[in-house]
Amino acid sequence: MPPLASRSRLLVTGGCGFLGRHLVEVLRTRFEVIPFDVQNASGDPAFHEGSVTDAAQIDAALEGVQGLVIGHIAPRRPGVYDRPELPFAINVDGTALLLDAAVRRGIRRVVLISSTAVVQRAVVAGTFLTAELPASPDSIYGLTKALQEETARFYHTAHGLEIAMLRPAYISLGDTLEDKYGVRRPSVNWQFIDPRDIGGAALAAFAMDDLGGEAFHLVAGPGAENRADLARTITRLGWTPKYRFSEFPAD
């Protein structure tokens, strides 16, 4: 399928959170973007209120939409990921509802914000990360991200959805090192990635003319090329991270 046309309408789930706000900002350089979230924490005038657990609200939000970014996650509050109920309802079931609605609405191009937590045991073991590695989560959070990806692959194979599964690791601003919690780490490692670079990768995925159902690792800290197949991400997406964190002390 051809790339998504400029000024097409996109829906970004979790669009008012830390990552979501940056995704929306970058994607608006080319598209009309609607943030979809449970509350308008960012004050965005284009905000569409709704929950990814409500099929009717999802269907209404996708009316007139040509592209979809799945960027929501269950809140990382203490205790939320101790049990599967809420993480599965939001991360897994919500993703399935979105992809099912996308098929019915005729939406072909999807970006799923996944995580290196899908292969966390490989990360811990120091294994070089490729898109072909089997899932090896070590937490309920990682399990939900792996199931998101498996759901995406099903909808790609069964219904022809074109899906880029982007796997960032530690999301932190490349100029201040501030993360979603307002924490600023004193040093960096290979897993760091700026949310604006994730937005740039999403933008690149919508511009591809031969996207299948594919995973891409997004890491940009010192030595990232030696720990993950960043070269494939750069070459396949036609994307280069702007923030490499080289001016900060390494762990």
76 pLDDT band (50/70/90 cuts)? confident
pLDDT band at 1 (very low <50, low <70, confident <90, very high): confident
Per-residue pLDDT, 2? 81
Q: Decide: 173 and 245 in contact? Cβ < 8 Å.
A: no
Predicted confidence at residue 52, as pLDDT, reads 98
| Nearest-angstrom CA–CA distance, 15 and 39 | 10
248-192-155 Cα angle (round to 5) = 165
In this structure, are strands 170-171 and 192-193 parallel, antiparallel, or unpaired? parallel
- Locate 30 and state its tokens: 């080319």
Contact, 192 vs 219, CB < 8 A? yes
- Total residue count of the chain as it appears in this document: 251
Pairwise CA distance, residues 120 & 82, whole Å: 17
Spell out the domain ranges in the chain. Answer: 9-237
Residue 79: pLDDT over 80: yes
Tens digits of residue pLDDT in 156-200: 999 999 999 999 999 999 999 999 999 999 999 999 999 999 999
Q: Is the pLDDT of residue 41 over 80?
A: yes
CATH class of 9-237: alpha beta
Task: Note the pLDDT tens digit of each residue in 87-140.
Answer: 999 999 999 999 999 999 999 999 999 999 999 999 999 999 999 999 999 999
Record the pTM: 0.97
pLDDT, one tens digit per residue, over 197-249 is 999 999 999 999 999 999 999 999 999 999 999 999 999 999 999 999 999 99
Q: CB neighbours of 240 closer than 8 A, spacing ≥ 6?
A: 234
Residue with structure tokens 């940056």?
A: 22
Give the integer Cα–Cα distance in Å for 212 and 195.
23
Q: What is the pLDDT of residue 77?
A: 87
> What distance in Å separates the CA atoms of residue 71 and residue 138, rounded to the nearest whole number?
21
Q: At 24, is the pLDDT very low, low, confident or very high (cuts 50, 70, 90)?
A: very high
Output the CA torsion sign for 26, 55, 65, 215. positive
Residue 47's nearest CA partner among 65, 76, 24 is 24
Measured CA angle at 56 (ends 51, 61), to 5 deg: 65
Q: Mind listing the pLDDT tens digit for each residue in 189-200?
A: 999 999 999 999
Cα–Cα distance measured from residue 30 to residue 34, given in angstroms and rounded to the nearest whole number = 13
